[in-house]
């Protein structure tokens, strides 16, 4: 399996974002908060629907400068991209999981710390 993050795996429809952010299933590991939602796939839609969809949120409230927000977003996306194969159990079960990673630190943290948080949050979904 390639480790690319495809456009079909990114959430960009407003109604999908709103329904995901209203979900009460959350998890937290500094500096990332995870909101997730698990949906059942139809039997004929397993091949067409991705087994995960993801959204990355870096609020302006925490990082005021755009260059810092962009750096944090690039690091968060890369940490997820490298470890997205941890979500393969949802492919086997025929479910789709929607994820929203929200960055909650007021400073840009190292990639290792961010990667550790992302891996821990993904493994807690099991």
Average pLDDT over the chain reads 92
What pLDDT sits at residue 89? 87
Q: Which domains does the chain have, with CATH numbers?
A: 7-124 (3.30.230.10)
pTM: 0.92
Pairing of strands 32-40, 26-29: antiparallel
Query: Could you tell me the maximum CA-CA distance found in the chain, to the nearest angstrom?
Result: 45
| Separation CA 60–CA 91 (nearest Å) | 34
pLDDT digits (tens, 9 = 90+) for 39-62: 887 666 556 778 999 999 999 999
Q: Return the H-helix or E-strand segment holding 68.
A: helix 66-82
pLDDT digits (tens, 9 = 90+) for 78-98: 999 999 999 988 888 889 999
| Separation CA 66–CA 90 (nearest Å) | 34
């Amino acid at each position: 399996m390639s480790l690319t993050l495809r456009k079909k795996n990114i959430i960009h429809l407003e109604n999908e974002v709103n329904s995901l952010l209203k979900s009460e299933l959350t998890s937290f590991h500094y500096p990332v908060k995870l909101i997730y939602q698990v949906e059942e796939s139809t039997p004929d839609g397993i091949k067409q629907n991705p087994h995960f969809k993801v959204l990355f949120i870096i609020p302006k409230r925490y990082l005021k400068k755009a260059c810092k927000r962009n750096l944090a977003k690039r690091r968060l996306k890369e940490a997820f991209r490298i470890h997205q194969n941890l979500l393969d159990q949802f492919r086997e079960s025929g479910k789709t999981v929607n994820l929203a990673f929200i960055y909650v630190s007021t400073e840009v943290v190292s990639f290792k710390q961010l990667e550790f948080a992302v891996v821990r949050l993904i493994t807690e979904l099991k």
